[in-house]
A and B are shown apart, each in its own frame.
Chain A
Amino acid sequence: MTRLKADSRHAVRFSLNGKPVEGEAEPRMLLSDFLRHQLGATGTHVGCEHGVCGACTVIVDGMLTRSCLTLAAQVDGCELRTVEGLAPSADRLGVLQQAFRRNHALQCGFCTAGILMSLDHYLAKNPAPTEAEIRDLLSGHICRCTGYTPIIKAALEAAAELTSAKKETSDA
Chain B
Amino acid sequence: MKPPAFDYLRAESVGDVLDGLAQQGGDARVLAGGQSLMAMLNMRLAKPKLLIDIMRINELRRIEREGETVVIGAGVRQADLLAWPKLSEALPLVALALPWVGHMQTRSRGTICGSLAHADPSAEMPLALVALGGEVLLRSARRRRRVAAKDFFAGMMLTARADDELIEGISLPIVKGARVAFREVARRHGDFAIVACAAMRTQSGVRLAVGGVADVPTARDWPKLEGSALDDALNAFAYELGARDDVHATARYRRDLVRMIGRDLIGEVLQ
Chain B residues lying within 8 Å of A65, measured Cβ to Cβ, are: 105, 108-109
Cross-chain contact B10 with A139 (CB below 8 angstroms)? no
Q: Which residues of A contact B105 (CB under 8 A)?
A: 54, 57, 64-66, 118, 140-141
Contact A63/B109 with A28-B4, A69-B35, A118-B104 known, Cβ cut-off 8 Å: yes
Q: Which residues of A contact B189 (CB under 8 A)?
A: 136, 139
Q: Are A3 and B42 in contact (CB under 8 A)?
A: no
Q: Is A136 touching B104 in the complex (CB atoms < 8 A)? A: yes
Q: Does A21 sit at the interface, judged by CB under 8 A?
A: no
CB distance from B225 to the nearest CB of A (A): 35
**For this complex, into which size category does the number of interface residues on chain B fall?**
35 or more
Which residues 112-143 in A have Cβ within 8 Å of B in the complex?
118, 122, 136-137, 139-141
Which residues 1-45 in A have Cβ within 8 Å of B in the complex? Answer: 1-7, 26-28, 30, 33
Contacting pair B9 A50 (CB below 8 A): no
B4, B6, B42, B108: which has the most chain A beta carbons within 10 Å?
B108
Residues of B within 8 A of A27 (CB): 5-8, 51
A33 to B3, CA, bound (A): 12
B103 within 8 A of A: yes
Whether the pair A3, B9 counts as a contact (CB closer than 8 A) is yes
For B79, list chain A residues within 8 Å (CB): 63
Determine if B236 is an interface residue (Cβ-Cβ < 8 Å).
no
B51 CB contacts on chain A under 8 angstroms = 27, 71
User: Does A155 sit at the interface, judged by CB under 8 A?
Assistant: no
| In the complex with contacts A1-B11, A139-B188, A28-B6 CB distance below 8 A | yes
Q: Which of A5, A76, A137 lies in contact with B104, CB distance below 8 A?
A: A137
Contacts of B188 in A (CB 8 A): 139
List B contacts of A73 (CB < 8 A): 8, 10, 53
Task: Confirm or deny: A156 has a beta carbon within 8 angstroms of a beta carbon on chain B.
Answer: no
Also in contact, A51 and B7, with CB within 8 A (given A1-B16, A74-B53, A136-B189): no
Taking a contact as CB atoms under 8 Å apart, the answer to whether B109 and A69 are in contact is: yes
Q: How far is the CA of A44 from the CA of B7 in the complex (A)?
A: 26
Residue of B nearest to A74 (CB): B53
Q: How far is the CA of A76 from the CA of B55 in the complex (A)?
A: 12
Give the shortest distance, in Å, between B30 (CB) and chain A (any CB).
13
B residues 34-49 near A (Cβ < 8 Å) are 34-35, 38-39, 41-43, 49
CB-CB < 8 A to B31: which residues of A?
71, 74
Chain B residues, CB < 8 A from A140: 102-106, 190
Instruction: Verify if B247 is at the interface (C-beta below 8 Å from A).
Output: no
Q: Give Cα A76 to B56, complex, Å.
A: 11
CB distance B10 to A28 under 8 Å? Answer: no
Q: Mark B35-77, 1 if CB is under 8 A from A, else 0.
A: 1001101110000010101010000000000000000000001
A-side interface residues toward B, CB under 8 Å? 1-7, 26-28, 30, 33, 49-51, 54, 57, 63-66, 68-71, 73-74, 76, 118, 122, 136-137, 139-141
12 inter-chain pairs at a CB distance below 8 angstroms, sorted by A residue, are A3-B7, A3-B10, A4-B9, A7-B5, A49-B1, A50-B43, A51-B39, A54-B105, A66-B35, A69-B38, A71-B34, A140-B102
